[in-house]
Chain A
Amino acid sequence: MNDMSPKKERSTLGKWSRRGFIGAGVLAGGGLLIGVGVRPGNPIDKLASTVAPGDGEQLVNSWVKIDINNLVTAIVPHCEMGQGAHSVLAQMLADELDAAWDKVNVMQAPADGSYVVGDTARMFLAPFTMNAADWIEPTWDGLFTQMAKLADAMITGGSSSIRTTGQHSMRVAGAAARKMLIGAAADEWGVPTGEITTRDSTLFHEASGKSAPYSEFATAAAEQPMDHTPVLKKPSEYRLMGKSKARTDIPDKITGRADFGIDAVPEGADLSYAAVVRPPVPGTSVESMDATRAKEMPGVLQILNMGNFVAVVADSYWQAQQAVNTIEIGWSESESPIKTMDDQFAAFAAALDEAGATGGKEAAAKGDAPGALAGAATTIEAEYKAPYLAHAPMEPLNCTAHYKDGTCDIWTSTQVPLMARSEVAKTVGLSADDIKIHHPYLGGAFGRRLGAEYVAMAARIAKATGYPIKMIWSREEDTQKALYRCADMNRLRAGLDDAGKLVAYDSVFTQRHDPAEACVPAMYNIPNTSVRVAEAELHLPFQAWRSVDHSQQGWFIESFIDEAAHAAGKDPLQYRLAMLQEAPRHRAVLEKVAEISNWREPTADGVAKGVAMVESFGTIVTEVIEVDMSSGKPKMTNIWAVCDAGYVMNPDGFRNQIEGGIVFGLTAAMYGELELEGGAIKQSNFHDYKMLRINEVPEIAVELINSGDVPVGGAGEPGLPPAAPALTNAIFAASGTRIRELPIAKRFA
């Protein structure tokens, strides 16, 4: 990820992948096909075999196809879940190719081993390569959890599509294809390649007045020698990159034509529908079942006890769901001692007590934090608590499965189609080659669809019944029986010197996944820092949730920095600036947000602003939120964000992602909470697992800084982490109430 800043002209395929390959072929019916990929070249040798077990295996990141009708097709390996990757990746490829934007198509790559997202996989694999300070220990546990998934690494996540596949593959494919087209035209026209220019999918030779559409040379181009490291454009040469081109998926999304997983209608299959009930307490199973009523209900075809869930298959989903609701199920006893959130937080507290002032596993250490704390003029400490959260994508989990004659076809919304294929293979006892995954648009995912247990469930039902089935989880199942952002507790201490300067920082908490640097206030110049993990069991199963550890750590860190600023009697924004002397990009972002939010102007009584800054997934984001507390409850009145992602490929698309990340983060901050009752989740649907609505979201101004000479940062997640602390810091500034336990609404109920 460090090799491909926009200013560098020469492409390499990233530092682990010198053995990157690029290959071309002729399309059936004429035309050029180019693939770019990376072979196993990870310097972490012990992991390389997991990335690509077979020596000859090709990990193709992207394809470009130029057909005889002069149509360019960008075949992208990432799924489209709302982040706009399909469109922007095509934009990047088309720019390097000098293709006419209105003659560019986007195609989702099929779920095939050839489309392994090598760079993204590596990013999941090796978070410590992501600009993390070298004094941060890698999350080895997280690393190896991800490793298991790597054999099936066709992943969309980690805010990575553009900065990995886009930068390393789509652009290379476009540039290489352009060069080959020029080569073919030069041969035919008998002119030097250097005299041929390209624009709008057309080749020009000015001196002779010759011109031809790409399609004319597409087939001949496949015979041209291929440049494995084509020269990429400089930002000043971009025609499409850096422009807010309209997204290609939007026309279908405003007419109802867009196909999501839940819309699957397998051709020629007489579909039945399945509704399911999973264990209310994780890890338990069906011990008894009385389905007397369900059997009598109209439309019911089969009732299945699958051991760890119960399913009803019926003529319609509505009938199946009604029937499954009537089944009385006896569940086995859970072995988890945790029955309530008080139990969960007590377990966290016990682990933190045991770690004490210096114990636990070291996540980061700089200087002598214990010594500096002991010698500080002032010390402050605080305990923060973050709840479990559900992902709650608008499209409930679902999967359509057709099992017949030793094959299985799957239609589903997933971030990991190849992993889903493996899970199905394992579950129903087929080889992966006999399973075909169809994966249309995702109706939101936010990390939830990195897990594929629901896909395997549908395959089991299809196999057990012999019917082609569409399984849909009710919203209640989705909220209560899924995978979750973990709860956590963090005890923080800070030492200030006589001048109020932060000289010591200590943090100990219980949950650490990814990215490794999320738990460390690395951007600030704090001479003595200690960050520790005291692991404690989680009652609910974990799944990465938009921005992963940054989602809670961003709030912990930026709230506590705010506490330190107030303890020092300093303006919180100025206090941060003072710790960023050697971080010009961070300073610039903070200065800009101060300017556009009128940070230094006084506000009305009961109204105040809060600021927070988090760097995540390669992008620095600062947010200021203005809150009106005059009614006694928080009402957000304005939101400003400034982002530095190095270089933004599609400014409007990027802003849309930041706006969405902010709303996602604020929804969690205001309302997000899952409570436990007898070990089961209490909240069930949007009436009690509340979302922010349009009337609660004020205008959001997003400004972008292209600071340039750095790797390109992500867009999908970085808007989220600063949102919660900016809001809670604003609430403190307006009311003196420091929120140390989320959600906020609970405090003001």
Chain B
Amino acid sequence: MASFILNGQETTADVDSAMPILWVVREKLGMNGTKFGCGIAQCGACTVHLDGQPVRSCSTPIAEAEGREITTIEGVSGPEGELTAVQRAWVSEQVPQCGYCQSGQIMSATALLRDIPQPTDEQIHAAMAGNICRCGTYTRIRRAIKVASGQLEPRSEEA
């Protein structure tokens, strides 16, 4: 029986301790915001926070989360569903296309901005290079991170 805190809630799951966090969260706990992309920690679609640190949940067994805090995309917004600065910037810069990778992108960006409030391009690249976006929204992700960190003005809708 695995026991951990998921998005602030004490949670247990009766699963094989080797089962990756990704599948525990998706299939056993019904939270589908975290996505499966590659299964080998190469694409970042499954990124969640473990005690605040971004990890690839497809390759992190649930045993590693024992007694620790897992945060998924469902847990990043405020208690009333208020969007975070990162999410608001994702809207203003109209980042997503298909959107499948974006939970992972937002989890990586959220961790980056907590550690480095005003990252440079190099710091953005270092934090985000593990997240593939097949639709190619990279330039918007870079801009959105700068908007979220107050380094750029948000796009206006009529532009």
Q: Which residues does chain A contribute within 8 Å of B31, judged by CB atoms?
A: 256
Q: Are B137 and A250 in contact (CB under 8 A)?
A: no
Q: Is the CB of B38 within 8 A of A686?
A: yes
Instruction: Report whether over half of chain A's contact residues are helix, strand or loop; otherwise say mixed.
Output: loop
With contact pairs A394-B134, A694-B125 given, residues A84 and B42 touching in the complex (Cβ less than 8 Å):
no
Indicate if A6 sits at the interface (CB-CB under 8 A). Answer: no
Among A249, A318, A691, A695, the residue within 8 A (CB) of B99 is A249
Q: Does A357 contact B (CB under 8 A)?
A: no
A624 within 8 A of B: no
Q: Does A409 contact B (CB under 8 A)?
A: no
Nearest B residue (CB) for A442? B98
Contact string, A2-35, partner B, CB cutoff 8 A, digits 1/0? 0000000000000000000000000000000000
Residue B152 at the chain A interface, CB threshold 8 Å: no
Of B19, B124, B125, the contact of A316 (CB 8 Å cutoff): B19
CB distance from A400 to the nearest CB of B (A): 12
Picked from B23, B42, B102, B142, the residue with its CB within 8 Å of the CB of A253 is: B102
Taking a contact as CB atoms under 8 Å apart, the answer to whether B100 and A394 are in contact is yes
How far does the alpha carbon of A245 sit from the alpha carbon of B34 in the complex, in Å?
28
Contact with B32, one of A83, A253, A256, A697 (Cβ below 8 angstroms): A256
Q: Is A743 part of the binding interface, using a Cβ–Cβ cutoff of 8 Å?
A: no
Task: Given A247-B94, A694-B125, verify A273-B27 contact (CB < 8 Å).
Answer: yes
Query: Chain A residues with Cβ under 8 A from B158's Cβ?
Result: 243-244
Residue A262 CB within 8 A of the other chain? yes
Selected from A392, A652, A693, the residue in CB contact (under 8 A) with B155 is A652
Tell me which of A250, A442, A475 contacts B94 (CB under 8 A): A250
Taking a contact as CB atoms under 8 Å apart, the answer to whether B136 and A250 are in contact is no
A441 at the interface (CB under 8 A from B): yes
Inter-chain residue pair count (beta carbon < 8 A): 196
- The contact string, 1 if C-beta is below 8 Å from chain B, for chain A 274-296, is 00000000000000000000000
Assembly CA distance A181 to B38 (angstroms): 52
State how many angstroms separate the Cβ of A315 from the closest Cβ of chain B. Answer: 9
Closest chain A residue, CB of each to CB of B155: A652
Q: Which of A414-463 contact B (CB under 8 A)?
A: 441-446
Question: Closest CB of chain A to B65's CB: distance in Å?
Answer: 15
Whether A444 lies near B98 (C-beta < 8 A) is yes
Residues 61-105 of B, flagged 1 when their CB comes within 8 A of A and 0 if not, give: 000000000001110010001010001001100111111111100
Q: Is the CB of A250 within 8 A of B34?
A: no
| Chain B residue nearest to A716 in the complex (CB) | B97
Which of B40, B96, B124, B139 gathers the greatest number of chain A CB atoms within 10 Å? B139
Give chain A interface residues in 252-307, CB to chain B under 8 Å. Answer: 252-260, 262-263, 265, 273, 298-299
Find chain B residues with CB under 8 A from A317 CB: 23, 27, 36
**Set of chain B residues within 8 Å of A652, measured between Cβ atoms:** 94, 155, 159
Query: Which B113-132 residues have a C-beta within 8 angstroms of A?
Result: 124-126, 128-132
Q: Does A308 contact B (CB under 8 A)?
A: no
- Say whether B153 faces chain A, with CB atoms less than 8 Å apart: no
A46 at the interface (CB under 8 A from B): no
Identify which of A91-99, A565-573, A653-661 touches chain B: A653-661
Q: Does B30 contact A (CB under 8 A)?
A: yes
Q: Is residue B20 contacting chain A, with contact meaning CB distance below 8 A?
A: yes
The smallest C-beta distance from A555 to any residue of chain B, in angstroms, reads 18
Known A-B contacts A245-B157, A685-B40; A255 and B98 likewise in contact (beta carbons under 8 Å) = no
Task: Check A699 for interface membership: any CB of B closer than 8 A.
Answer: yes
Asked if A663 and B138 sit within 8 Å, CB to CB, the answer is: yes
B99 touches A687 (CB 8 A): no
Residues of B near A556 (CB, < 8 A) are none
**A83–B91 CB distance below 8 A:** no
Chain A residue with the shortest CB-CB distance to B91: A250
Query: What is the CA–CA distance of A656 and B95 in the complex, to the nearest angstrom?
Result: 8
Q: Which of chain B's residues have a CB closer than 8 A to the CB of A646?
A: none
Also in contact, A475 and B155, with CB within 8 A (given A316-B27, A694-B142, A695-B129)? no
Pairwise interchain contact A82-B97, C-beta atoms closer than 8 A: yes
A interface residues, tally (CB under 8 Å): 69
Q: By CB atoms of chain A within 10 A, which of B95, B98, B106, B129 has the most? A: B98
A259 CA to B45 CA, complexed, in Å:
15
Asked whether, in the complex, the Cβ of B37 is within 8 Å of the Cβ of A699, the reply is no
Contact B39 A693 (CB under 8 A): no
In the complex, whether A150 has a CB less than 8 A from a CB of chain B is no
A621 within 8 A of B: no
Of A252, A442, A660, A687, chain B has the most CB atoms within 10 Å of the CB of A660
Contact of B35 among A443, A660, A662, A667 (CB under 8 A): A443
- Whether the Cβ atoms of B38 and A685 lie closer than 8 Å is yes
| Contact yes or no, B100 A255, CB < 8 A | no
User: B15-48: contact bitstring with A at CB < 8 Å (1 yes, 0 no)?
Assistant: 1100110010001101111111111101101000
The smallest beta-carbon distance between A306 and chain B, in angstroms, is 22
A732 beta carbon closer than 8 Å to chain B: no
Kindly list chain A residues whose C-beta atoms are within 8 Å of the C-beta of B42. 685-687
Assembly CA distance A243 to B19 (angstroms): 47
Among B74, B129, B137, residue most surrounded by chain A Cβ atoms (within 10 Å)? B137
Cross-interface CB contact of B101 among A273, A316, A394, cutoff 8 Å: A394
> Counting CB contacts under 8 A, is B147 at the interface?
no
Q: Is A664 a contact partner of B35 (Cβ separation < 8 A)?
A: no
For the complex, what is the distance from the CA of A263 to the CA of B31, rounded to whole Å? Answer: 9
Residue of B nearest to A243 (CB): B158
Known pairs A82-B99, A265-B30, A686-B38; A254 contacts B90 (CB<8 A): yes
Interface, chain B (partner A; CB < 8 A) = 15-16, 19-20, 23, 27-28, 30-40, 42-43, 45, 72-74, 77, 81, 83, 87, 90-91, 94-103, 106, 124-126, 128-142, 155, 157-159
Q: Given A255-B83, A444-B98, A699-B139, list of 19 further CB < 8 A pairs?
A: A243-B157, A250-B99, A262-B32, A262-B35, A394-B37, A394-B98, A394-B133, A443-B99, A656-B94, A659-B139, A661-B136, A663-B136, A686-B43, A691-B43, A693-B138, A694-B125, A694-B133, A694-B141, A700-B139
Ordered by A's residue number, 10 sampled pairs between the chains whose C-beta atoms are within 8 Å are A83-B97, A254-B83, A255-B87, A259-B32, A394-B133, A444-B134, A659-B136, A667-B136, A693-B132, A694-B142
Enumerate the 10 nearest inter-chain pairs by beta-carbon distance, A residue then B residue, closest first: A256-B33, A663-B136, A82-B98, A443-B100, A253-B99, A82-B97, A256-B73, A695-B125, A686-B42, A660-B136
